[in-house]
C-alpha cells in the first residue's frame, strides 16, 4: 500500500487548460493569466526533427503513429496512477499490452514511498509556465519529481534532455507554490520488451537549459 500525503493548495484545486488547433496548450492561473504548458515550450526543441519526419513518412501516417503513441502513453499513465492510488481493480478495462507495460515497471514503482501529489496542475509566475506533473513523491527515500514515459526503444541519456528540463520546470513550480524544495528528478521509462529505464538528475543541472529554451520559445513568434 502506498502512503498518500496530499498538499492543500491555498489558491486553487486545479487549473483550466486550453488546447489550440495546433496542439499547443495554455493553462489559466487563479489570477486569470494564461501561461503556456512546459511541454508546449519544450516542443520547440524537436520541431525541426518532427517536421522532417512528417515529410518523410507522410502526414497521414505520421498522424496515425503519433495518435497511437499518445493513446498508449495516456493509458499507461492512467494505470500507473490507479496502481499508486491503491486501486484494487487497477487493471480493469485495459488491454493486455497496457497491463504488460505496468507489470514491467512495478518493481520500480515499488521504490516509491510517500506520495504527495499525482497529476497535479502547477504554475510559475517566475518562469511564466504551467503544467501537470505526473507524480511528486519519495523515490528511494528522497522527495522527487517523477515523470513516467513509454518507449518502443531504449533511450540514451543524451536523447532525453527535454525530459529533464520538463521535470526541472515542475520542481521550480512546486517550490513556488508550496515552499517545499525538490532537487531530485526521476524519469521512469516503460520500454517494450526491456526492463524499465530509470534516470536520475539534479534539478540545478537543467535550469539554465530550461531558461534558455523558454527564451528561445518566447522569441519564436
* pLDDT for residue 48: 64
As beta bridge partners, residue 201 has 185
* pLDDT for residue 23: 80
* pLDDT for residue 33: 96
* pLDDT for residue 62: 65
* pLDDT for residue 135: 98
Burial class (CB in 10 A: 0-12, 13-18, 19+), 128: middle
Query: Distance (Å, rounded) from C-alpha 199 to C-alpha 45?
Result: 20
Q: What is the pLDDT of residues 5-21, one digit of tens each?
A: 999 888 898 999 999 88
Whole-model pTM over 0.85? yes
* pLDDT for residue 6: 92
- 137: nearest Cα among 173, 165, 111: 111
The alpha carbon of residue 213 and the mean position of all alpha carbons in its chain are separated, in whole angstroms, by 17
Query: Distance (Å, rounded) from C-alpha 54 to C-alpha 31?
Result: 38
Residues of the chain predicted below pLDDT 70: 47-49, 51, 53-54, 62
Q: Which three cell numbers stand for residue 89?
A: 481493480
Q: Which three cell numbers stand for residue 75?
A: 493509458
Amino acid at each position: 500500500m502506498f502512503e498518500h500525503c496530499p498538499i492543500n493548495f491555498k489558491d486553487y484545486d486545479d487549473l483550466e487548460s486550453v488546447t489550440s488547433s495546433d496542439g499547443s496548450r495554455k493553462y489559466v492561473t487563479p489570477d486569470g493569466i494564461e501561461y503556456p504548458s512546459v511541454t508546449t515550450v519544450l516542443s520547440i526543441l524537436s520541431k525541426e526533427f518532427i517536421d522532417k519526419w512528417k515529410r518523410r513518412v507522410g502526414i497521414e501516417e505520421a498522424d496515425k503513429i503519433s495518435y497511437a503513441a499518445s493513446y498508449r502513453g495516456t493509458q499507461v499513465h492512467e494505470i500507473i496512477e490507479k496502481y499508486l492510488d491503491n486501486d484494487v481493480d487497477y487493471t480493469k478495462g485495459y488491454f493486455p499490452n497496457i497491463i504488460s507495460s505496468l507489470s514491467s515497471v512495478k518493481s520500480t514503482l515499488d521504490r516509491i514511498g510517500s506520495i504527495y501529489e499525482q497529476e497535479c496542475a502547477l504554475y510559475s509566475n517566475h518562469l511564466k509556465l504551467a503544467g501537470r506533473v505526473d507524480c511528486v513523491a519519495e523515490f528511494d527515500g528522497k522527495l522527487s519529481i517523477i515523470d513516467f514515459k513509454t518507449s518502443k526503444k531504449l533511450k540514451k541519456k543524451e536523447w532525453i534532455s527535454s525530459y529533464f528540463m520538463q521535470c526541472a520546470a515542475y520542481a521550480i513550480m512546486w517550490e513556488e507554490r508550496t515552499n517545499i524544495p525538490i532537487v531530485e528528478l526521476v524519469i521512469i521509462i516503460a520500454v517494450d520488451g526491456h526492463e524499465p529505464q530509470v534516470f536520475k538528475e539534479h534539478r540545478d543541472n537543467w535550469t539554465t537549459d530550461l531558461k534558455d529554451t523558454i527564451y528561445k520559445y518566447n522569441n519564436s513568434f
